[in-house]
Amino acid sequence: MHIFYALSPLLFVGSLAGLIDISSHWMTDLKEGICVDEFWLTQEQCCWKSENVTFENPNDCPKWRSWSQLLLNQSEGAFPYIVNYILYILWALFFSLLAVLLVRNFAPYACGSGIPEIKTILSGFIIRGYLGKWTLIIKTITLGLAVSSGLSLGKEGPLIHVACCCGNILCHLFTKYRRNEAKRREVLSAAAAAGVSVAFGAPIGGVLFSLEEVSYYFPMKTLWRSFFAALVAAFTLRSINPFGNSRLVLFYVEFHTPWHLLELIPFILLGIFGGLWGAFFIRANIAWCKRRKTTKLGRYPVLEVLAVTAITAVLAFPNEYTRISSSELISELFNDCSLLDSSKLCDYKNDDVNTTNGGILPDRPASKGVYTALWQLSLALIFKAVITIFTFGMKVPSGLFIPSMAVGAIMGRLMGISVEQLAYYHHDWAIFKGWCSQGADCITPGLYAMVGAAACLGGATRMTVSLVVIMFELTGGLEYIVPLMAAAMTSKWVADALGRESIYDAHIHLNGYPFLEAKEEFSHKTLAMDVMRPRHNDPSLTVLTQDSMTVGDIEAAINETTYSGFPIVVSRESQRLVGFVLRRDLIISIESARKKQDGIVSASRIYFSEYTPPQPPTSPASLKLRTIMDLSPFTITDQTPMEIVVDIFRKLGLRQCLVTHNGRLLGIITKKDVLKHIAQMANQDPDSILFN
C-alpha cells in the first residue's frame, strides 16, 4: 500500500510535462510573433479565440502579429522578412543562452538526455546529486527553453530524467525507501516508466521501455507499480490537455486504411535506412563528443551552444519544414491528406475525384505544391540528420527521440509519396495489379512516415518491443504492428551489424560509467583466477586476522592501502576466511574507540572472533569489532568460469566477491575488475572505466 502513496504524487510528473509543453509552445511561437492584448496566448490559442477565423480563411487572424507586422506594420516584402528572420535568430539565441547558463551555473547534471546515467544508477552506481532537487528544477526550466530555441532536440529523454528526479525526491519522504537502495531503484524504474508515459502518451509502452531499456533489476512486483505510475502520470497530463485535442501527444493519428503485403518491401527499405542512419549517427556523435572531451572545444560550452543555435536558426528559418518545431513537423508528416487539406503536402489534383465513393479518397496525382514540398523536405532531411550530431551531447537538456523520429518521418514521407505516385502512374505494373488499381486508396504516405520514424528511432536506440508498442499506442491500430515490427527489426539488425552499441550504451562507454551490460552474454573461457587480484607476481592479498592484530597493525594496513574493504581470516597461515570488513567502518570504529573507550592504544588487540581469550592484566584493553564485520561475504572458487562470475555479479548486484581455493582465501574480484576484464576481452581500453 505504501508504494501507492509514494507513487501517486507522480501526477507531479504529468503536471511538469504539461507545464513544459505549454511553455515551450508559447516560446516557440514567440520567435515568430505575438498575440496582441493577450501576449500569454500561443498562436493557436490566439487565433482560435479570434472570431474572424473561418473555414475559408484559416490564417486570417488579426490578433496574431508577426514581429514585422508589429514593428513595421508590414508583412510582405524583403525587409519585413529580414526583420522576422533576425528576430527569430535572436529569440533562439536568447533561449539557448538562458538554458546553458542555468545549466552551467546551477545544475551541471541537468544537461543531456540523462538516460545513460539513469541506466548506470539503476545498475548500482551512485552519482551524488544526479537525481536531486536542483537538477529537477533546472532541467524542467531549461528543457522548455532548449526546445523553444529551435535546436534539433526533443524533450522525451530528459522527461525520463525529470521523472526519476521526482521519484528520487519522493523516496526521501519515506523512511522505507530512503534506507533501502533496492526499493529505491524499484521506484526509479517506475518513475522512468511514468516519464516515457507522459512523453509519448503511451503508458504500456512506457512500462516496456523501462523494462527493456532503462531498468537493470526489474522484479515482477514493479511491473504493476510502473504501470500504475505510468497511467497516473498520463492521465494527469491528459487532464491538463496541453495540445487541446484530448490526446496525450501532438502527433496522434488514427489511420484506417489497410496495408498490402507488398508494401513490406518499402517498409523494410525504410528499416534499412533507419539502421544505417542510426549507426552513422552513433559513430559521428561519439566521434564529435570525444573531440569535445579532448580538445579545447569542451572548455567553451556556452559558446558552443550559441554557435550551434545560431547555425540552426539561420539554416532553419528559410525552410518552412525546419522553421516549425520538430514535433509539429512529425505531426504534419504523419497526417493523412483529406480532400480539404490545404497544406502543400496535400496539394494533389482533385479533378477526377468521385467524392461519393463511400468516403474513400483515391490516390491522386501530385500537384505543384507536393513537388515543392518534396525538395524542401529533402533539404530538411539533410539538415536535421547533420545538425543533430552536433546537438546531442551539448550542455543543454537534449533528447534524441524527436530528432531521430523527424529524420525518419521525412524519409518515410518522401518514400511514401514516391510509391504513391509510382502506383498512380503505373497501376498497370504487375506488382500493383489487384490491389492498387486506378481510383483505389492504396498508399498512405502518412503510414510510411510513421514506419520511417520508428525505423530511425530504433536504429539509434535499439529499442524493440517498447518501440513498436509506443508507436502502436500512438496510432491505436493493431493492424500496423507488422509494418512497424518489420521496420524496427530490420533497422536493429542493420544497425547492430555496423556497431553493437545503442546511443545510450555508447555514451555510457564514452563516459566510462561502470555499467555491467545485462543483455550481452559473456562467452569467453576465462576463469576467476585469471581476473582476481593479486595476480601471479603481485604481493599477496592484504588480509586482517581475526585475533592476532593490534590497532596499530590495522591502522598501518589502512594507511598503506586504498582498498575499500579487507577480508578477515582465522590466521595468515591457514588463510581460512571469517568475514569481510569495510575500510570506512574500520576507520570510524577505531577512531571512536580511541576517543571514547578507555585504554585503547596502538598496542591494543583487535578481536573479530566470537570468543575473546582472557588478557593478562598488564596488556592494554582489547577492542571487539565483530559487529562491524560482514559474516557472509560472497565467495567463489578460483576455478569458477568468468561466464558464471559475470552472471552472479549482474543478478546479485555484487560490488566484490572473494576467491578461494580448497577453502583457503586466495584473492578478490571487484566489479571494476569484472568490467575491466570484459573490456579487455572485447579489445577495448580497460582503463577508461570510472569507479566510485
Question: Do residues 404 and 457 make contact, with C-beta atoms less than 8 angstroms apart?
Answer: yes
**Number of Cβ atoms within 10 Å of the Cβ of 643:** 15
With CA atoms as reference, report the closest residue to 654 among 663, 644, 664. Answer: 644
- With contacts defined by CB under 8 A, name the span among 23-31, 52-60, 405-413, 631-639 that binds a copy of itself: 631-639
Contacts of 305 (CB under 8 A, 6+ apart): 96, 97, 99, 100, 394, 395, 396
Tell me which amino acid residue 568 is. Answer: I
Question: Do residues 528 and 638 make contact, with C-beta atoms less than 8 angstroms apart?
Answer: yes
> Using the rule CB under 8 A, which residue among 212, 332, 336, 420 binds a copy of itself?
212
Which DSSP helix (H) or strand (E) runs through 81? helix 78-106
Residues 17-56 that bind a copy of itself (CB under 8 A): none
Residues 419-438 that bind a copy of itself (CB under 8 A): none
> Using the rule CB under 8 A, which residue among 640, 667, 668, 671 binds a copy of itself?
640
Q: How far is the CB of 464 from a copy of itself (least distance, A)?
A: 4
- 647 scored as a contact of a copy of itself (CB under 8 A): yes
C-alpha to C-alpha distance for 662 and 639, rounded to whole angstroms: 10
Residues 372-411 that bind a copy of itself (CB under 8 A): none
Q: Which is nearer to a copy of itself, 113 or 640 (CB)?
A: 640
C-alpha to C-alpha distance for 311 and 152, rounded to whole angstroms: 11
Site pattern 491..510 for a copy of itself (x: CB under 8 A): --------------------
- With contacts defined by CB under 8 A, name the span among 8-16, 68-76, 222-230, 432-440 that binds a copy of itself: 222-230
Q: Which is nearer to a copy of itself, 103 or 568 (CB)?
A: 568
- 644 scored as a contact of a copy of itself (CB under 8 A): yes
Question: Do residues 672 and 691 make contact, with C-beta atoms less than 8 angstroms apart?
Answer: yes
> Using the rule CB under 8 A, which residue among 27, 187, 196, 208 binds a copy of itself?
208
The radius of gyration of the chain from alpha carbons, rounded to an integer in Å, stands at 30
Q: How far is the CB of 685 from a copy of itself (least distance, A)?
A: 27
- 577 scored as a contact of a copy of itself (CB under 8 A): yes
C-alpha to C-alpha distance for 112 and 130, rounded to whole angstroms: 12
- With contacts defined by CB under 8 A, name the span among 114-122, 173-181, 279-287, 570-578 that binds a copy of itself: 570-578
Site pattern 524..553 for a copy of itself (x: CB under 8 A): ----x-------------------------
Residues 223-262 that bind a copy of itself (CB under 8 A): 223-224, 227-228, 231, 235
Cα maximum dimension of the chain: 113
Q: How far is the CB of 613 from a copy of itself (least distance, A)?
A: 16
Q: How far is the CB of 541 from a copy of itself (least distance, A)?
A: 14
C-alpha to C-alpha distance for 252 and 241, rounded to whole angstroms: 13
Site pattern 459..498 for a copy of itself (x: CB under 8 A): -----xx--xx--xx--x-x--xx--x---x---------
- 578 scored as a contact of a copy of itself (CB under 8 A): yes
Q: What is the DSSP string of 216-255?
A: S---HHHHHHHHHHHHHHHHHHHHH-TTSSSSSSTT----
- 302 scored as a contact of a copy of itself (CB under 8 A): no
C-alpha cell at 506: 555508447
What is the SS3 assignment for 586-599?
Answer: HHHHHHHHHHHCCC
Looking up cell 533561449 gives: 95
C-alpha cell at 218: 526489474
**Dihedral sign of CA atoms 651, 652, 657, 660 in order:** negative
Binding footprint of a copy of itself on the chain (CB under 8 A): 203-204, 207-208, 211-212, 219-221, 223-224, 227-228, 231, 235, 464-465, 468-469, 472-473, 476, 478, 481-482, 485, 489, 518-519, 528, 569-570, 574-579, 631-637, 639-641, 644, 647-648, 651-652, 660, 662-665
